[in-house]
Amino acid sequence: MQFLKKRFRSFGYAIEGIMDMVCSQTHARIHLLAVLIITAMGIYVGLSWAEWCGIITCMGIVLSLEAVNTAIEHLTDLASPEYHELAKKAKDTAAGAVLISVIFCGIVWGIIFIPKLLH
């Protein structure tokens, strides 16, 4: 029983982290808006199950990397509250990871949506 209580508590902590990310990070809110728009577009154009799998995977990758980026920013601020070049590099690299995922997911979304929207 104690095992289950710990798992539920851990789940709650994860939800807290997600809520913190959404409330404190503008880009997380932008990504969530994109998720809503892309979901609506997917419903509108009638994506296949395979296309939905690709779209949902991309959404998960972008949002997960945004969460990791947020965690790195928080830890960097804790470890280096004053400006430090290495802290800047850590934050910039984490943000770059999110950007890379957005670019490649944008390509996937384009491959899936452009032919459907042109048809």
Is 8 part of any domain? no
CATH label of the domain that carries residue 78: 1.10.287.3610
* pTM to 2 decimal places: 0.90
Total domains in the chain come to 1
pLDDT, tens digit, 9 for 90 and up, residues 40-84: 999 999 999 999 999 999 999 999 999 999 999 999 999 999 999
Mean per-residue pLDDT over the chain, rounded? 95
Q: Which domain holds residue 108?
A: 19-118
- Is 85 considered catalytic here? no
Q: Considering 16, 66, 82, 85, which one is annotated as catalytic?
A: 66
Residue 97 in domain: yes
Asked whether residue 112 is domain-assigned, the answer is: yes
Q: Is residue 9 part of a domain?
A: no
Q: What is the pLDDT of residue 113?
A: 96
